[in-house]
Homo-oligomer: A and B are copies of this chain.
Amino acid sequence: MTTDYAGRRVLVTGGLGFIGSNLAIRLVELGAEVTVADSLVPDLGGNRFNIAPVEGRLTVHTTDVREAADELVEGQDVVFCIAGNVSHVDSMSDPLLDLELNYRAQLAVLEAVRRQGSQARIVYAGSRQQYGRPRYLPLDEHHPLEAIDVNGINKTAAEAATLLYYQVHGLPTCSLRLTNTYGPRMQMRHSRQGFVSWFVRQAIDGEEIELFGGGESLRDFNEVDDVVDAFLRAGAREAAVGEAFNLGHPEPLTIRQFAETLVEVAGSGSLAERPFPDDRAGIDIGSVFANYGKIRGLLGWEPRVGLWEGLTRMVEYYREHREQYW
């Protein structure tokens, strides 16, 4: 993997956010010439501290991809499109903003690359939210895309456009449909981006973790280093071009199991059952986990980090850097 990125020019949009910053750090370590772009929209998760380990070794543009797409993509060999809103709840309260961040921004990047006649590899960060309520489990990539929130609709449109630009214009694009990702550098200031980061904060703070509906729904959890590995493969391997891939984990767990492991790892926090709040019940999708056989077969990707190990690393990170995230 080292040789794939050494000396290559790489753009990471959303590069000050959770997954983007972890990817950017890894790319710098691999010898890539890295530019990160991040609009630092409040609450989305962008945090300058996230790139502290490589500060000074990459270029940072605090700009909106929608405005600066042409300038940002110029001369890049690989473009990782990770900018976006991942809050399903926020997408329902401000759907037009979600459209801007999750779809229009991606279309602006695609158009910029097309207009420049560039052959940059483009990897889009999709979501298992695109599938909606599972008709069967595990979800494979043939499952219909029937999003049940605006976020899922916009990600579906953005991914469709990304793959269309391969089919029609020949741009070498692909998409990863992410599942629940956890690890260092998630935002910790609010709970609207899903339960994972919020549970970790509550555990560290010794608070009561609320399990909506008992926490019996199954999920597949990917540690961010594994997700970074998937992005690196997707941006380098020829077999990725034109494809959408699920991520996933060999061992789906209930949300309750996740929380129990977390409390044990942290040595603090406790669990409490709660009914679903009104604003979430309508967009909850029950159990959901994905078949990742396609990316394993075509790109050789498999998750390597187990939950205990991943949560240990995550809790340690936030105990050390609490003041940067709380």
Contacts and interface: CB of A to CB of B under 8 A. Distances in A.
B111 A168 contact: no
A150 B167 CA distance: 12
A7 interface: no
A164 B144 contact: no
Interface string A96-122: 100100011001101100000000000
Contacts of A150: 107, 161, 164
Interface in A144-163: 144-145, 147-150, 153-154, 156-157, 160-161
B95 A107 contact: yes
Q: Give the dominant DSSP class at A's interface.
A: helix
Contacts of A107: 95-96, 99, 150
A92 interface: yes
A157 to B, nearest CB: 4
A68 interface: no
A108 B96 CA distance: 7
- A99, A108, A144, A282: most-surrounded residue (chain B CB, <10 A): A99
Contact of A148 (B95, B148, B164): B164
A177 to B, nearest CB: 16
A86 B108 CA distance: 21
A95 to B, nearest CB: 6
A218 interface: no
B111 A103 contact: no
Given A147-B160, A161-B153, A168 B92 contact: yes
A283 interface: yes
A144 B135 CA distance: 14
Contacts of A168: 92, 148-149, 282-283
A282 B167 contact: yes
A265 to B, nearest CB: 35
B164 A160 contact: no
Contacts of A157: 103, 153-154, 156-157
Contacts of A283: 168
Interface in A60-119: 92, 95-96, 99, 103-104, 107-108, 110-111
A167 B283 CA distance: 9
Interface string A122-144: 00000000000000000000001
* 3 tightest A-B CB contacts, nearest first: A157-B157, A168-B282, A153-B160
